[in-house]
Structure 1
Amino acid sequence: MSQLFQSPFGRHSTASEVIEGVDLSGRRAIVTGGGSGIGVETARALAAANAEVTLAVRRPDAGEQVAADLRARTGNDAIHVARLDLADLDSVHEFAAGWRGPLHILINNAGIMLLPELERGMRGQEQQFATNYLGHFALTLGLHGALADAGGARVVSVSSSGHLFSPVVFDDIDFRFRPYDPTAAYAQSKTAEVLLAVEADRRWSGEGIRANALHPGAIPTNLQRYAGGMRTPEPYRKTVEQGAATSVFLAASPLVEGVGGRYFEDVAEAPVVRTRPTEFGVPGVAGYALDGANAERLWEFATGILR
């Protein structure tokens, strides 16, 4: 087994600290969900390092207010806003089709969590799976050409320690036969986001596109309105600045150049664990989330769904 990737940073490191001294001039980034939560801090850190940043958000009016604040805080005027609703396939296609030029950094950050009732999204898929995974899969696929044109690009999938609660249940992804369970639905959507990074890296690393996934930590944002950081033990909780650190590190640090297909937390590669936790926030990555056969199967499944 290869040695786990380590860094000089840790769970208390902030986004500003992990990107200190890095100049992203000439680099273009997209942050989905960049108008709230850790997406704002992720975008701020990249913009402060001189990247051109696009906030891909459902509500452009609110996104413009965030962008104006970020421009003032960073002194970087190259912060844009574009509409993207990951639950709406037409919106995803429109966003990808409208992108012009190379793309150096794609951060699949947006998501929904623990919907209390069963809802169905695009193509009749369970809503958390449809939004968290399928929307990002369609977006990443649609931007493949732009990523390849960058001559070195990074795809970052924001997953969760919640993935430890369930693999992707291929025989019943959409809860048509098993009883709906919010935790299981959220968990498999987050496992799917790890598998997206694993398979994108396998398919595209030869084109200079590297992909990784991560757990940001438990941060009290709107994402957790149905669960809350209060369900996560105190030692695993983070500030927004700390929560964005691993995303920013994977997106921009020269230390992780050439690294792909892995799962990170606390700004380091996570070890594989083989037991299901009893609470959110527990460290580690499940073997099924890194399994190449699972990753390829899910990619082919998603491709078929979106045809």
Structure 2
Amino acid sequence: MTNSFGATSTADDVLSGKDLRGKRVLITGVSAGLGVETARVLVAHGAYVVGTARTPFEAEQAEAGIQPHASRGGGLTLINLDLASLESVRRCADALIAEAQPFDVVIANAGAVQAPFGHTTDGFETQFGINHLGHFVLVNRIASLIAPGGRLVVVASIGHRASDVDLDNPNFERQPYDPMIAYARSKTANILFAVEFDRRHRTRGVRATALHPGVIKSKLEQRMSPEELDKALEQINTQLAAEGRAPFQYRTISHRAATSVWAAFVARADEIGGRFCEDCQVSPVVNLPVNSMSPGVMPYAVDPERAGVLWARSEEMVGERF
């Protein structure tokens, strides 16, 4: 697939000239950062966005930041969703089903990033429970609302390169907790979920993809000291130089939203279905070091057999079959 978009493209660049009037989009995590920017650019191009937020305060803040940008009939509605509680997830899904309004795109955007050790309301390790299982239940429950020709876009991360899923020990009961490894497992699960969802729904024209949105400086600063950050960047740039590539650059929030809206409304469905994307491109399947900034998805994250096993194990964990 050839297009003019890449690492330097913003969400506004990607949707330039696009008229999204009549399109309905569900986005989880429309309370800050990437979710707000994704919703903003979509409503600015005429889409109607249903966004999720955990609390009324978050919903009010999001609406204040997004609604003024609506044009061409675009708009925003907020609905309560706490992905750390399957009761909340099911209540949200039931409300959407009761409305019976189809979606052209669902963007699974919300998530926890390198959270300290803890458990969701239902007893799952926090990051796996929120990032994967919460979305697994929500999306599967409302799958019939995704219109034929629609898409599921799952926001994952190149952080998946640090670990495959461990379905025998998802809650870190038999090893010390490592927030980065837990995050990586949850992001690998996100990608595998998209692979299997795509396989199950492509016959009715619904396709699924997962993506890496890019790295933002504030997120790294929250997790690293200045010295750790400097050392990490030095290692990254050494690796990039060895690959003959330009030095690492942080992404703005609009750069980070670009691949989500590209996958949702610009890319060809048959090109991205069941694949992993970054920089508004489909990523190659390659084995890469954890610290490599080269494009690519690890083979285990797009393994169809592994995706089917994760699906079955996830059904067991949440007590529902889809």
Q: CA deviation at 1:142?
A: 1.1
> Which TM-score applies when normalising by structure 2?
0.87
Q: CA deviation at 1:153?
A: 1.0
1:132 corresponds to which letter in structure 2? N
Q: CA deviation at 1:27?
A: 1.3
Q: CA deviation at 1:206?
A: 0.9
Unaligned runs of 5+ residues in structure 2 are 237-246
Contact 2:26–2:49 (8 Å) recurs in 1: yes
Structure 2 matches for 1:51-70, cutoff 5 A? 51-70=47-66
Aligned pairs, how many?
298
In structure 1, how many angstroms separate the alpha carbons of the residues matched to 2:32 and 2:220? 9
Contact 1:122–1:130 (8 Å) recurs in 2: no
In structure 2, how many angstroms separate the alpha carbons of the residues matched to 1:160 and 1:115? 15
Pair 283,295 (structure 1): closer, same or farther in 2 beyond 3 Å: same
Pair 77,245 (structure 1): closer, same or farther in 2 beyond 3 Å: closer
Pair 107,301 (structure 1): closer, same or farther in 2 beyond 3 Å: same
Pair 291,6 (structure 1): closer, same or farther in 2 beyond 3 Å: farther
Aligned residue in 2 for 1:248: 261
In structure 1, how many angstroms separate the alpha carbons of the residues matched to 2:301 and 2:16? 31
In structure 1, how many angstroms separate the alpha carbons of the residues matched to 2:248 and 2:25? 32
In structure 2, how many angstroms separate the alpha carbons of the residues matched to 1:294 and 1:111? 22
Contact 2:191–2:302 (8 Å) recurs in 1: yes
Q: CA deviation at 1:34?
A: 1.2
1:11 to 7, 15, 27: 7
Pair 273,238 (structure 1): closer, same or farther in 2 beyond 3 Å: same
1:271 aligns with 2:268: no
Contact 2:163–2:185 (8 Å) recurs in 1: yes
Secondary structure of 1:169 counterpart: coil
1:193 to 175, 180, 190: 190
Contact 2:36–2:65 (8 Å) recurs in 1: no
Q: CA deviation at 1:282?
A: 4.8
Q: CA deviation at 1:225?
A: 2.9
Aligned residue in 1 for 2:275: 262
In structure 2, how many angstroms separate the alpha carbons of the residues matched to 1:221 and 1:27? 32
In structure 2, how many angstroms separate the alpha carbons of the residues matched to 1:228 and 1:60? 33
Unaligned runs of 5+ residues in structure 1 are none
Contact 1:15–1:244 (8 Å) recurs in 2: yes
In structure 2, how many angstroms separate the alpha carbons of the residues matched to 1:236 and 1:154? 30
Secondary structure of 2:248 counterpart: helix
> Which TM-score applies when normalising by structure 1?
0.91
Contact 2:119–2:126 (8 Å) recurs in 1: yes
1:261 corresponds to which letter in structure 2? G
**Using CA pairs below 8 Å that are at least 6 residues apart, which structure has the higher relative contact order?**
1
Contact 1:111–1:223 (8 Å) recurs in 2: no
In structure 2, how many angstroms separate the alpha carbons of the residues matched to 1:88 and 1:143? 17
Pair 55,223 (structure 1): closer, same or farther in 2 beyond 3 Å: farther
Contact 2:21–2:74 (8 Å) recurs in 1: no
Contact 1:119–1:126 (8 Å) recurs in 2: yes
Q: CA deviation at 1:56?
A: 0.5
Q: Between Structure 1 and Structure 2, whose CA radius of gyration is higher?
A: 2
1:106 corresponds to which letter in structure 2? V
1:156 to 145, 153, 156: 153
Q: CA deviation at 1:298?
A: 0.6
1:124 corresponds to which letter in structure 2? G
Identity in percent = 39
In structure 1, how many angstroms separate the alpha carbons of the residues matched to 2:19 and 2:157? 28
